[in-house]
Amino acid sequence: MFRQVTHKFLLTIGLAFFGQASFAELGEPEKDELTFGFIKLTDMAPIAIAYENGYFEDEGLYVTIEAQANWKVLLDGVIDGKLDGAHMLAGQPLAATIGYGTKAHIVTPFSMDLNGNGITVSNEIWAQMKQYIPVKDGKPVHPIKADYLKPVVEKFKEEGEPFKMGMVFPVSTHNYELRYWLASGGIHPGYYAPHKGDTAGNIDADALLSVTPPPQMPSTLEAGTIHGYCVGEPWNQQAVFKGIGVPVITDYEIWKNNPEKVFGMTQEFTEKYPITTIRVVKALIRAAKWLDEDDNANRPAAVKILSQSNYVGADEDVIANSMTGTFEYEKGDKRNVPDFNVFFRYNATYPYYSDAIWYLTQMRRWGQIPEPKSDDWYIKTASDVYKPDLYALAAKELIDEGTLSADEFPDFATESGFKPEQTEFIDGISFDGRQPNAYLEKFAIGLKDETL
């Protein structure tokens, strides 16, 4: 019954966007005191900016923002209601909803950013890789492929030594990006077999991947526990500043304008507090727009905010190295990467079904989804988790208010939730979200029809 009431309510709000009701009819938030969680990464910026710029208060929301110890603690906080929403890994709502790890119906009405990650290796590994990397004008030619790491990994294997890399969580974008990069160079990152109790993900692996919390990545690398890692900023640039490692590639170079974090809430919350949900999304959209507007003119101000200990808590110089449109690889090799962090451009905030499906294909490719699934299953699961309808309600409110213009959003009248076929991957393989199984068939390394 409640689902029917909520659907009817949202339909009524939807009519407002076609001139049949006024903005005032959206009503007051059902819950106005909220607590949001985040991990200390620069891509939590939309939450910080919505708070600092007063966008939450403009929506009648009084928000407390709390850093979380790790991604599991953060997810558990949303599930048990200690947190009303959170900055999440794109894979977390999907994994929870299908029951991988924790079972809970988590949804996302807002995608937080594009790009923002990098892969860093230790100075020792970098020195061994460099002999294989092409050079132009005295600098390595980018993108640096995993092909150049493969001889190093093979040497480790010959000597009976494990080659170890860190990523932040089993269902993190970092895990899938690192695996994608390694496999594109012929380095097997290993399979999971959760139905057999194997959740390490190291079956048949050439490189052993393990979980390290983002702020601990540089120190773990420095200690020699891992030989490299994939993480978001500022923890790749921190390795450069500390002189302990070299970022070799960004995720922008692995998959141009890839979706990164999302804002996650329980399905129960969005149904119980639909007006609150729409108002939260409105505030986050405004924050994302502020972060990108005028060719990133606000980024220096954002860096100051994020450097505060209650947010990311890293030095301003470290955060600015990537947030202001540059990225430093080898010490002194700073290059312009204006889209390293994207918060609003290219419809970054819209929760596309095809983005969700890409992550589901990677869960299947590496065995976290142990059995083959139909294309329809992928599409239905994506629509159970990603909520472009809620996003559209919030966006259209902003348009009706005159806060943002219609040309800053997708055309909601024609939007299908699927991006056109995407081609800009490091391995040249194209992705069409409507055909996930055909996509999986294209990979030389990865599960297809088989079950481990």
135-179 confidence digits (pLDDT tens): 999 999 999 999 999 999 999 999 999 999 999 999 999 999 999
The DSSP secondary structure of 278-329, one letter per residue, reads HHHHHHHHHHHHHHHHHHHTTHHHHHHHHTSTTTT-S-HHHHHHHHTSEEE-
The predicted pLDDT at position 198 comes to 85
Looking up tokens 């996509």 gives 439
DSSP string spanning 156-220?
HHHTT---EEEES-TTSHHHHHHHHHHHHTT----EEEGGGTEEEEEET-SSEEEE--GGGHHHH
Res. 23: pLDDT tops 50: no
Mean pLDDT, residues 38-65: 97
Looking at every residue in the chain, the average pLDDT score rounds to 93
User: Angle between the 235-242 and 316-323 helix axes, to the nearest 10 degrees?
Assistant: 120
Domain annotation for the chain: domains and CATH numbers: 2-115+259-408 (3.40.190.10), 117-257 (3.40.190.10)
pLDDT of res. 7: 40
Cβ neighbours for 4, distance < 8 A, ≥ 6 positions apart: none
3-state secondary structure of 365: helix
Q: Going edge to edge, which strands form the sheet with 117-122?
A: 208-211, 164-167, 228-232, 117-122, 245-250
pLDDT digits (tens, 9 = 90+) for 372-410: 999 999 999 999 999 999 999 999 999 999 999 999 999
Three-state secondary-structure class, residue 121? strand
pLDDT at 1 > cutoff 80: no
Q: Where are the alpha helices (DSSP H) in 17-137?
A: 45-52, 55-58, 71-79, 91-98, 123-129
Cα(212)–Cα(151) distance, rounded to whole angstroms?
25
Distance CA(48)–CA(200), nearest Å, equals 34
Residue 5 has pLDDT above 50, yes or no: no
Task: State the pLDDT confidence band at 343, using cuts at 50, 70 and 90.
Answer: very high
User: Which of 212, 211, 192 lies closest to 202 in space, CA to CA?
Assistant: 192
Q: How, if at all, do strands 208-211 and 191-193 pair?
A: unpaired
Taking only the tens place, the pLDDT of each residue in 241-263 is 999 999 999 999 999 999 999 99
- By 3-state DSSP, what share of the chain in percent is helix, strand and coil, each rounded to 5? 45, 20, 35
Tokens of 432: 């069409």
- Give the mean model confidence (pLDDT) for residues 7-33: 58
Looking at residues 85-97, what average pLDDT do you find? 97
Whole-number Å distance between alpha carbons of 352 and 109: 10
Gap between the Cα atoms of 447 and 452, Å rounded:
8
> What is the per-residue pLDDT for 146?
98
* Confidence category of residue 344, pLDDT binned at 50, 70, 90: very high
